[in-house]
C-alpha cells in the first residue's frame, strides 16, 4: 500500500511538473516545420480586416516556403476565427496552444481578444507577436515573449489632435466613441491631449458595438458647439456618424484612428466621408502612382486572391515578414528564448516596400513603432498629409 501511495505521489508530481511552462519552449518546431497560429475575425463585423490580415500573412509565408523555408523549415499558418467575440477568441487560443501546439501567436485581431488570450500564451511561454490590438498590454509590462508594432489609440489620438488643432485652428474638441475598451482607450488619449492643450473635452457621447443609428450622438456634440470630433469606431461607425452629420447639415472636422483606414471607407461612404482625417502608419497601397516594386506586389496579391489589397493586407504581410526575418537571424536553434533575444535588439528595415519607417525594439521597449502620420480622404482617396509625427 505504501508503494502504491508513493507511486501516486510521484505521478502527481510528474504531472504538475509537465504542466508548468518550459523556459525557451520550442513547441511547434520540428526539423521540417514551424507552426504558428493567428486569431482573426473571419465571420463577424470586421471580417474584411481579418480576411485581409490572413491573406497578407499567408502570402509572405508562402514566399518563404517557396524559397526553401527558414533554416530548412517550412512555416505553417493556422488561422482560427473569433467572429469578433472574446469568448470564441479564447476558445480559438486554447485550440492553437493546446491542440495545435503552435510556436507563436501572430497578429491576433482585436483588443479585447488580445487582452484575454495573451496570458494564455505566456503561461506556456509561447510568444505573442505583433497583435492587431493597439493596447499597452500587448507590450507592457515587459515580457520576453510579447512584442507589438501597433501604437495604442491612447497614443495615436493626442498626436492627431495636436496636429489638427495647430493646423486647422479647431477650438472645441468632442468625441463619439464605442462603449468598450476600444472607445475607452480613445477617451484616454483625448483626455490627455485636451489637458495638455488646456481645452476641456467639449462633449462626449457613446454608442454600443453594432449600433447603426447615430442621430442622438451627433445631435449632442453638435448642440455643444464642438468643431472637431474624434471618432472611437471602425469603418461602419465612421461612415454612419459622418453621414448623420451631413443629414443635419453640419460639417465639423472628423478624426478617426487607423481602425477605419481602408479604401472600403470611401468606397462605401462616398462623398459623405470626404475630409475625414486618420492617424495611420503608412500610405494606402493604391496601384496608381505606386513604385515598380509595390506595383509588382499588388499584382501578385490580386492574382492570388482576386482582390485589391488594403492596409490590413500590407500590415499582415509586413508582420509575417518581420517574423521571417527575425527567425532567419535566430538560425537553426529556434526557441522562444532565442527568438526573444534576437527581437530584443532587432531593427526591421523591410518596410520600404509599403512606406513604413524602421521598426525597432529595445530590451526596455517592446513597442516597435512610436509614430503616426496623418492621412485624409480627398476626392475619394486616402492621401498622406504629413511625414512621421510623434
Same domain for 137 and 40: yes
Does pLDDT of 346 surpass 60? yes
What percentage of the chain exceeds 70 in pLDDT?
A: 93
Query: Does residue 1 lie in a domain region?
Result: no
Task: Give CA–CA dist 30/17, Å, rounded.
Answer: 23
Average pLDDT of the chain to the nearest whole number: 92
Count how many Cα atoms sit within 13 Å of the Cα of residue 383 in the half-sphere of its side chain.
8
- Residue range 301-342, pLDDT digits in tens: 999 999 999 999 999 999 999 999 999 999 999 999 999 999
Does pLDDT of 5 surpass 50? no
Query: Does residue 26 lie in a domain region?
Result: no
- Residue range 170-228, pLDDT digits in tens: 999 999 999 988 899 999 999 999 999 999 999 999 999 889 999 999 999 999 999 99
pLDDT given at position 357: 82
φ, ψ dihedrals at 4, nearest 5°: -65, -40
Question: For residue 139, what pLDDT band results from cuts at 50, 70 and 90?
Answer: very high
3-class SS of residue 73: strand
Same domain for 44 and 133: yes
- Residue range 23-55, pLDDT digits in tens: 444 689 999 999 999 999 999 988 989 999 999
Same domain for 264 and 178: yes
Same domain for 230 and 379: yes
What percentage of the chain exceeds 90 in pLDDT?
A: 85
Task: Give CA–CA dist 300/155, Å, rounded.
Answer: 34
pLDDT given at position 26: 66
3-class SS of residue 307: coil
How many domains, in total, are found in the chain? Answer: 2
Please give the average per-residue pLDDT across 45-69, as a whole number: 96
Does pLDDT of 22 surpass 60? no
Same domain for 157 and 50: no
Please give the average per-residue pLDDT across 74-101, as a whole number: 97
Question: For residue 366, what pLDDT band results from cuts at 50, 70 and 90?
Answer: very high
- Residue range 281-290, pLDDT digits in tens: 989 999 998 9
> CATH number for the domain including 226?
3.40.50.2300
Same domain for 352 and 312: yes
Report the b/e string of 94-116 with b at 16+ CB within 10 A: eebbeebebbbbbbbbbbbbbbb
Same domain for 159 and 87: no
pLDDT given at position 182: 85
Cell of 379: 476626392
Same domain for 252 and 178: yes
Amino acid at each position: 500500500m505504501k508503494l502504491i501511495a508513493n507511486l501516486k505521489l510521484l505521478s502527481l508530481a510528474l504531472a504538475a511538473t509537465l504542466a508548468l511552462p518550459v523556459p525557451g519552449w520550442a513547441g511547434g518546431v520540428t526539423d521540417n516545420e514551424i507552426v504558428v497560429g493567428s486569431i482573426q475575425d473571419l465571420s463577424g463585423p470586421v471580417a474584411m480586416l481579418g480576411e485581409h490580415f490572413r491573406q497578407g500573412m499567408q502570402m509572405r509565408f508562402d514566399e518563404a516556403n517557396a524559397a526553401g523555408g527558414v533554416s530548412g523549415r517550412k512555416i505553417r499558418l493556422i488561422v482560427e476565427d473569433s467572429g469578433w467575440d472574446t469568448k470564441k477568441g479564447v476558445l480559438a487560443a486554447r485550440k492553437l496552444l493546446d491542440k495545435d501546439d503552435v510556436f507563436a501567436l501572430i497578429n491576433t485581431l482585436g483588443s479585447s481578444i488580445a487582452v484575454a488570450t495573451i496570458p494564455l500564451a505566456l503561461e506556456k511561454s509561447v510568444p505573442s507577436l505583433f497583435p492587431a490590438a493597439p493596447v499597452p498590454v500587448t507590450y507592457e509590462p515587459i515580457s520576453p515573449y510579447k512584442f507589438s508594432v501597433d501604437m495604442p489609440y491612447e497614443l495615436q489620438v493626442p498626436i492627431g489632435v495636436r496636429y489638427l488643432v495647430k493646423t486647422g485652428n479647431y477650438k472645441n474638441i468632442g468625441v463619439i466613441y464605442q462603449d468598450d475598451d476600444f472607445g475607452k482607450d480613445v477617451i484616454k488619449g483625448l483626455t490627455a491631449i485636451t489637458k495638455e492643450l488646456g481645452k476641456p473635452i467639449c462633449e462626449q457621447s457613446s454608442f454600443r458595438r453594432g449600433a447603426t443609428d447615430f442621430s442622438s450622438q451627433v445631435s449632442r456634440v453638435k448642440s455643444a458647439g464642438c468643431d472637431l470630433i474624434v471618432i472611437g469606431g471602425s469603418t461602419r461607425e465612421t461612415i454612419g456618424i459622418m453621414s448623420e452629420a451631413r443629414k443635419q447639415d453640419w460639417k465639423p472636422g472628423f478624426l478617426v484612428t487607423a481602425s477605419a483606414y481602408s479604401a472600403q471607407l470611401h468606397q462605401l461612404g462616398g462623398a459623405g466621408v470626404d475630409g475625414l482625417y486618420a492617424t495611420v502608419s503608412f500610405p494606402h497601397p493604391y496601384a496608381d502612382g505606386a513604385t515598380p516594386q509595390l506595383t509588382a506586389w499588388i499584382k501578385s496579391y490580386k492574382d492570388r486572391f482576386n482582390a485589391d489589397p488594403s492596409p490590413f493586407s500590407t500590415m499582415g504581410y509586413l508582420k509575417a515578414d518581420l517574423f521571417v526575418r527575425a527567425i532567419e537571424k535566430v538560425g537553426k536553434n529556434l526557441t522562444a528564448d532565442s527568438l526573444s533575444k534576437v527581437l530584443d535588439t532587432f531593427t526591421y528595415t523591410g518596410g520600404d516596400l509599403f512606406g513604413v519607417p524602421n521598426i525597432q525594439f529595445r530590451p526596455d521597449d517592446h513597442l516597435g513603432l512610436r509614430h503616426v502620420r496623418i492621412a485624409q480622404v480627398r476626392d475619394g482617396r486616402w492621401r498622406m498629409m504629413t511625414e512621421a509625427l510623434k
